[in-house]
């Protein structure tokens, strides 16, 4: 499975625009799921184009939580692809442009490879992706807390990778068993995570591609 960061506070690849927010494309078994949509539709669509990723090829959109920097680009994307299925946490209001919305409350199987932790306290869901080497967890801002997210994801198997915004997270020892950590977006203590896990932690940024298989 492959994760391409489309929208982030920083850029990794020249030519892409950085802005506060998060979005990444997750590909597994030929299925393309867009996790969150960043803050501004124009930047999301521009970065997708620069990365040669066709919005029409996305079959699912997964929104982590109801904050502007994660669903701000949703309406613009839906204008280009109305046939996409949108997975929203239950606390999120339904976007009028969407044809098919799945309101997520508890843990949910989306497909053979994709699962949701369900909406955790903190009004946020995280994506769980099954790979041959274990699970990869993609999170938006980690408002429920990284420990709670990893615990919920563990219901689906052994977590091996974590990608996304970790906010003010500081309980670094919960990352000890992971093979890949990509703390990006709103992560406040990225430098400490990188220093503590130099072999497994990597920086994010728009254009960064992570392969987990
Ligand atoms: Zn955020
Ligand atoms: Zn947030």
CA of 150 to the centre of ligand 1 (A): 18
Instruction: Report pLDDT for 212.
Output: 87
**Cβ contact 62:35 at 8 Å:** yes
Instruction: Report pLDDT for 213.
Output: 75
- Looking at all shown ligands, the one closest to residue 165's CA atom is 1
Instruction: Report pLDDT for 205.
Output: 98
CA of 197 to the centre of ligand 2 (A): 25
Torsion of CA 152, 106, 136, 74, to 10 degrees: -130
CA of 194 to the centre of ligand 2 (A): 22
Instruction: Report pLDDT for 138.
Output: 98
Instruction: Report pLDDT for 96.
Output: 87
CA of 13 to the centre of ligand 2 (A): 24
Dist CA 208 CA 47 (whole Å): 12
Query: Closest Cα to residue 125, out of 66, 168, 206, 59?
Result: 66
Give strand pairing partners of 27.
Answer: 2, 32
Dist CA 74 CA 97 (whole Å): 9
CA of 36 to the centre of ligand 1 (A): 10
CA of 67 to the centre of ligand 1 (A): 7
DSSP secondary structure letters along 49-91: HHTT--GGG--EEE--BS-HHHHTTHHHHHHH-TT-EEEEETT
- Looking at all shown ligands, the one closest to residue 143's CA atom is 2
- Looking at all shown ligands, the one closest to residue 21's CA atom is 1
Instruction: Report pLDDT for 69.
Output: 97
Please give the structure tokens belonging to residue 181.
Answer: 């950590």
pLDDT in tens for each of the 213 residues of the chain? 999 999 999 999 999 999 999 999 999 999 999 999 999 999 999 999 999 999 999 999 999 999 999 999 999 999 999 999 999 999 998 888 899 999 999 999 999 999 999 999 999 999 999 999 899 999 999 999 999 999 999 999 999 999 999 999 999 999 999 999 999 999 999 999 999 999 999 999 999 999 987
CA of 188 to the centre of ligand 1 (A): 12
Model confidence, pTM:
0.97
CA of 132 to the centre of ligand 2 (A): 30
Instruction: Report pLDDT for 204.
Output: 97
CA of 43 to the centre of ligand 1 (A): 16
Query: Closest Cα to residue 178, out of 168, 189, 193, 188?
Result: 193
């Amino acid at each position: 499975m492959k994760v391409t960061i489309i929208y982030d506070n920083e850029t990794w690849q020249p030519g892409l625009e950085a802005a506060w927010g998060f979005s990444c494309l997750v590909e597994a078994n030929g299925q393309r799921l867009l996790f969150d949509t960043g803050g501004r539709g124009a930047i999301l669509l521009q970065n997708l184009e620069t990365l040669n990723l066709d919005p029409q090829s996305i079959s699912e959109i997964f929104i982590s939580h109801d904050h502007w920097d994660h669903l701000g680009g949703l309406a613009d994307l839906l204008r280009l692809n109305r046939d996409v299925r949108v997975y929203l946490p239950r606390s999120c209001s339904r976007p009028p442009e969407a044809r098919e919305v799945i309101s997520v409350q508890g843990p949910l199987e989306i497909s053979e490879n994709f699962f949701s932790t369900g909406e955790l306290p903190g009004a946020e869901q995280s994506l769980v992706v099954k790979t041959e080497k274990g699970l990869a967890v993609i999170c938006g801002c980690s408002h429920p807390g990284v420990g709670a997210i990893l615990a919920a994801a563990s219901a689906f198997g052994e977590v091996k990778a974590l990608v996304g915004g970790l906010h003010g997270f500081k309980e670094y020892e919960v990352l000890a068993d992971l093979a890949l950590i990509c703390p990006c977006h709103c992560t406040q203590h990225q430098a400490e995570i990188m220093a503590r896990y130099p072999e497994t932690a990597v920086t994010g940024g728009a254009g960064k591609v992570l392969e987990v298989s």
